[in-house]
Amino acid sequence: MTQDTPTPFDQQLRQAVLEHLAACQPDGLSGLHVGVLNGIVHLAGNAPTVESRQRAASLVEQIPGVRGVVNRIDAPGAPSPGRTIHLDIHASQENQGKT
C-alpha cells in the first residue's frame, strides 16, 4: 500500500538527498527541487547538459534508502520532463491498436 503524504522516513531521506547534493555540488544545476514519496526521489529543475542531469540522478541513487529516482530535470537534449507516462499497460496496448 502506498501513501499520499511523505512519511518521517521520506522526510529524513529528502534531507539526506539535499545534504548529499550540496556536498557534491553537481555542476550547473539551478532551481533544483527534491521530493520524496515512499522512498522514490523526484528531482526537478534545470541543468546545462544531459551529463549534469544524469550525474544528479546517479548521486541520488547512491544514497541508502533510495528505492528509485524520477528525473524530471530539464536539460538541452534530454527527454521532456513533462512526458506522459502510461502505467496501465493493458489500456495503453488497446489504444495503440486503435487508429
Tell me the pLDDT tens digit for each residue of 77-86: 887 765 544 4
- pTM for the model: 0.75
Q: How far is CA 48 from CA 17, 42, 45, in A?
A: 20, 19, 10
Assign domain 8-97 to a CATH class.
alpha beta
Q: DSSP of 21-65, one letter per residue?
A: HHHH--TT-EEEEEEEETTEEEEEEE-SSHHHHHHHHHHHHTSTT
Give the end-to-end CA distance of the chain in Å, rounded to a whole number. 36
Q: For the chain, which residues make up each domain, given as ranges?
A: 8-97
Tens of pLDDT along 7-37?
A: 999 999 999 999 999 888 767 777 889 999 9
The angle formed by the CA atoms of residues 25, 26 and 28, to the nearest 5 degrees, is 110
- C-alpha cell recorded at residue 53: 542531469
